[in-house]
Amino acid sequence: MNAPDPAATTASPPHASFAARAHVALADDGLRRKFRRAMDGLMTKRAAQFADTEAWASLRARGAAIRRRALARLPELLEQLEANCRKNGITVHWAETSAEADGIIEGILTRHGVRTIIKGKSMVSEEIHLNHFLGEHGIGAIESDLGEFVIQLAKETPSHIIMPCIHKSKEDVASLFEAKIDGQPYTEDVDVLTATARRVLREQFAAADAGLSGVNFAVAETGTLCLVENEGNGRLSTTLPPLHVAVMGIEKVVEQLEDVPPLLSLLTRSATGQTITTYVNFISGPRKTDEQDGPREVHLVLLDNGRSRIHGDLQLRETLACIRCGACMNHCPVYTRVGGHAYDAVYPGPIGKILTPQIEGLGKAGDLAHASSLCGACGEVCPVAIPIPDLLVRLRREASHAIPSSSVMGAGAQHSAVEDWIWRGWRWMYATPLFYRLATRMLRLIGNRLPASLPMLRDWTRVRAKPQFAPRSLHDLARDRGYHDE
Amino acid sequence: MNNARSAILARLRATPQGMLPALPEWRTDVPSAERLDRFCTLLEASHAEVVTSASQRWPALLAERLKARGNTGAIGPVLYAPGTAHGRQLAEAWADQPDFPLVAYDRPVEELKETLVHGVGAAVTGTMGGIAETGSLILWPTRDEPRLMSLLPPLHIALVDAGALYGTLTEAMIACDWAAGMPTNALLISGPSKTADIEQTLAYGVHGPKELMVIVLDP
């Protein structure tokens, strides 16, 4: 039986800009069909869950307030979470960067002589590129979520935060299993493919020295880690091996246990249109001395990786309210057409467009803030009311104009002197009546004859019709009607 | 490590706290009269089998149900919790029936791993009750009834007292004062293990039980 190659990495995509990657994706009809179909299904199921708009509004208001309260009280809640986890026997670690988190996890595993870990689904572990790091240190990491298992076999990265292998057809999975799993014949029968994954991974669960998981909500009041899933791999990863390491972003903490039900309801209904997932797991410590199973040790790694910087700006802080349901990507007209890989980021779609540039800096990922038509669908469906379009506009502005007080990494990275001069000229023209009259007359005469291929105009006209100048200006028309206020 | 802790907390504290909104009122409920019906309907919709039994008769009913599937040998040994009241009830009632041998989960997982992972076909557990709004079982594993029982065997049989149905999760948390002392692992289970990762096609039993049978005990 073949285990997936734990050190598998994905080759970097061939294009540096989102626009170029999007063009490649748009040309792939099969990819577009798969995403269209999947997103349509997810949107329909979510809509059915929130058919009662009054109930949706009050649940959403509750969820939004819970997340805002948690963020306002973040430092004290983290300390409370840490204290209660310790009381429960969970060891708590703090990491400022991805590298620190990787190092801490590797340290824990090495101290316990761990050779292989089995993983439940964790986006934070993707964010810190944990599998690659552990592979370099001789520790194998096996993904056990079916979707993650498929993409690990294919040496790819997730294209959706909830359904990581949404870009694969059952034919793709059938060929992959046939090629990578010993004795597996080609079959498109999803039940058989699923049973194969169960058989292969059951062995891995039994043999793993440690389990790793993410955290959906961490409850400060009781020191409890909540894990939400359908497959049971999260439960297995956190129960069967003798050691459990959980990793979470510092923003995932909530005040009290009673905050969990409304957030849980928002999460599962927004994500997959389910009233609840099959399993909701509340972990509050390692195995007690008289218990028969459960890990002997539980470690919790709290990751910052730019979050405390984002927290420092009251508007951008909204980014951290996210509960990672993926509804924004399911409803995004851009994501639906280009799929998750075009973003070349761990978090794709609208939430990724505001999160990635803030974590990686506007210099590296600033163009993601432009991967949007600002249609507003993401903000409308967000279960905790994150104003994603407003934040996109804010980041676009920050990318071109560094404000001295800005805390955004790489602010001003896309600043253009030419653009600056154009705006200055524009302002001067509008403030100088004589020049304004001259300029509008000139444009009326020759504007429509300017070729669409002129520099800068070309960027606009490449995908749009050239604007037409009206033969008569608004001023002329107003004068005809008897307005004389000059 | 401590440097990271103090640096992160210092950065978080250096910024304005921001708005601390009050929690707006939010309540959902399922009226008592509708709870049992809703609970059963939702569980069945999630692919679980729901049967009702008098609380004295369930071991006999379970044996009948399992036999009715035919090929009794295919189910394999049944895992049970000998330290619980329902575990003892099962062992007593099944003492003379040869079809389903019982395996006791009475020692640490390390000593029973091979059996648990490969050697049992079903497990019988109790529950702390159910949640009507979502069709969920509340499990509160203990020393006597460990966590893996509801996870490793292909068939999970769960007993729910009809009198222990709560309208919502919030109601259960408040009624049982969860915040006063959480167990190592509390669980909600709302159907058999499932996945839709391959082309959004539902498939059951990807990691946990492929089947869930819920026996509602109604005295």
In angstroms, the CA A22 to CA A342 distance is: 5
Q: Residues with Cβ < 8 Å from A463, sequence gap 6 or more?
A: none
State the smallest CA–CA distance between residue A119 and chain B in angstroms: 13
Strand partners, B64: none
- Going by the DSSP 8-state scheme, the letter that residue A316 receives in this structure is G
Look at residue B96 in the predicted model and tell me its pLDDT: 87
Quick check: A8 pLDDT over 80?
no
φ, ψ (nearest 5 deg) of residue A407: -105, 0
Cβ-count burial A225-239 (b if 16+ within 10 Å, e if not): bbbbbbbbbbbbbbb
The separation between the first and the last C-alpha atoms of chain B, rounded to the nearest angstrom, is 57
- Looking at the partner chain, which of A168, A202, A256 has a beta carbon nearest the beta carbon of B117? A202
pLDDT tens digits along B165-190? 999 999 999 999 999 999 999 999 99
Q: Dmax over Cα atoms in chain A, in whole Å?
A: 93
Here the tokens at position A179 are 């090629």
> What H or E segment, with its residue span, contains residue A226?
strand A224-229
Read off the pLDDT of each residue in B82-90 and give the average, rounded to a whole number: 97
Looking at every residue in chain A, the average pLDDT score rounds to 93
Average pLDDT score over residue span B114-121:
94
Q: Has residue A452 got a pLDDT over 50?
A: yes
Confidence of residue A445 (pLDDT cuts 50, 70, 90): confident
**Nearest chain A Cα to B169, which residue?**
A261
Sheet with A90-95, edge to edge strand ranges: A90-95, A297-303, A243-249, A210-213, A116-119, A140-143
Determine the Cα–Cα distance for residues A417 and A182; give it in Å rounded to an integer.
60
Rounded CA separation A236/B193 (Å): 12
Contact B179 A222 (CB under 8 A): yes
The whole-angstrom separation of Cα A149 and Cα A94 is 28
pLDDT, one tens digit per residue, over A35-87 is 999 999 999 999 999 999 999 999 999 999 999 999 999 999 999 999 999 99
Contact A78 B12 (CB under 8 A): yes
Q: Measure CA of the first residue to CA of the last residue in chain A; give whole Å.
A: 85
Is pLDDT above 70 for A211? yes
Query: Is B179–A71 a contact, with Cβ atoms under 8 angstroms apart?
Result: no
What CA–CA distance (Å, rounded) separates A233 from A331?
A: 28
Measured CA to CA in angstroms, residue A239 lies from A208, A232, B120 at distances of 11, 10, 18
The 3-state secondary structure of A151-172 reads HHHCCCCCCCCCCCCCCCCHHH
Residue for token pair 């499990």? B139
**pLDDT value of residue A15:** 67
Name the residue with tokens 């039986």: A1
**pTM passes above 0.90:** yes
Residue B177 contacts A, CB cutoff 8 Å:
no
pLDDT at site A26? 95
Please state the rounded mean pLDDT for residues A372-397.
97
Optimal mutation site among A56, A161, A213, A278, interface B, most CBs of chain B within 10 A? A278
Measured between alpha carbons, how far is A286 from A253 in angstroms, rounded to an integer?
A: 20
Which residue, among A248, A284, A280, has the nearest Cα to A264 in the 3D structure?
A: A280
Check B173 against A150: CB less than 8 A apart.
no
Q: What's the rounded Cα separation, in Å, for the pair A353 and A361? A: 12
* CA pair distance A47, A45, nearest whole angstrom: 5
Closest chain B residue to A315 measured between Cα atoms? B18
State pLDDT tens for residues B129-163: 999 999 999 999 999 999 999 999 999 999 999 99
Q: Which of residues 73-132 of B touch A (CB under 8 A)?
A: 105-109, 113, 117-118
pLDDT band at A407 (very low <50, low <70, confident <90, very high): confident
Confidence of residue A192 (pLDDT cuts 50, 70, 90): very high
Report the 10 Å Cβ neighbour count for A111. Answer: 9
Rounded-to-integer distance, Cα A243 and Cα A11, Å: 32
Residue A142: beta bridge partners?
A118
Q: What is the pLDDT of residue A127?
A: 97
Cα dihedral value A16, A18, A23, A29, nearest 10: 110
Task: Quickly count: other Cβ atoms within 10 Å of residue A16's Cβ.
Answer: 11
CA distances from B115 to A73, B105, B209 (A): 47, 10, 15
Residues of B in contact with A73 (CB under 8 A): 17, 20
> Per-residue pLDDT tens for A104-130?
999 999 999 999 999 999 999 999 999
Residue whose C-alpha is closest to residue A142's, from A154, A128, A132, A152: A152
Confidence of residue A485 (pLDDT cuts 50, 70, 90): low
CB A78 within 8 A of CB A302: yes
A454 contacts: CB under 8 Å, gap ≥ 6: none
Q: If 0-12 CB within 10 Å is exposed, 13-18 middle and 19+ buried, where does residue A129 land?
A: middle
> Which residues of chain A lie closer than 8 angstroms to B195, CB-CB?
146-147, 194, 230-231
Q: How far is B157 from chain A (nearest CA, A)?
A: 15
**CB distance A75–B13 less than 8 Å?**
yes
Asked whether this complex has an ipTM greater than 0.95, the answer is yes
Q: Between B73 and B204, where is the model more confident?
A: B204
- Distance between CA atoms of residues A157 and A151, nearest Å: 6
B28 Cβ under 8 Å from any chain A Cβ: yes
| DSSP designation for A481 | T
Radius of gyration of chain A, Cα coordinates, nearest whole angstrom: 26
Which chain B residues are Cβ-neighbours of A65 within 8 angstroms? Answer: 21-24
pLDDT value for B97: 84
How far apart (Å, rounded) are the C-alpha atoms in residues B201 and B45?
16
pLDDT band at A12 (very low <50, low <70, confident <90, very high): very low
Q: Is there a contact between A190 and B203 if contact means CB atoms under 8 Å apart?
A: yes
Q: How confident is the model at residue A467 (pLDDT cuts 50, 70, 90)?
A: confident
Residues of chain A positioned with their CB less than 8 A from the CB of B208: 231-232, 235-236, 278-279
- Residue among B20, B142, B173 minimizing CB distance to A69: B20
Q: What are all long-range contacts of A124-127, with beta carbons under 8 Å and residues at least 24 apart?
A: A124/A214, A124/A247, A124/A248, A124/A249, A124/A303, A125/A212, A125/A214, A125/A247, A126/A157, A126/A158, A126/A346, A127/A98, A127/A249, A127/A303, A127/A305, A127/A346, A127/A347, A127/A359
Q: Mapping DSSP to helix (H, G, I), strand (E, B) and coil, where does residue B185 land?
A: strand
Q: What is the DSSP string of B101-122?
A: -EEE--S-HHHHHHIIIII-SE
What pLDDT score was predicted for residue A13?
46
**pLDDT for the residue B114:** 94
B chain contacts of residue A262, beta-carbon cutoff 8 Å: 26, 170
Per residue in A299-341, pLDDT (tens digit) is: 999 999 999 999 999 999 999 999 999 999 999 999 999 999 9
Interface contact flag, B195 A250, Cβ < 8 Å: no
- Angstrom distance (rounded) from CA A395 to CA A417: 18
DSSP, residue by residue, B57-69: THHHHHHHHHHHT
CB atoms within 10 A of CB B106: 15
> What was the pLDDT predicted at A455?
84
What pLDDT does residue A473 have? 84
What is the predicted pLDDT for the residue at A396?
Answer: 95
Hey, CA dihedral for A176, A177, A180, A185, is it positive or negative?
negative
Name the residue in chain A with its Cα closest to that of B185.
A283
CB atoms within 10 A of CB A436: 15
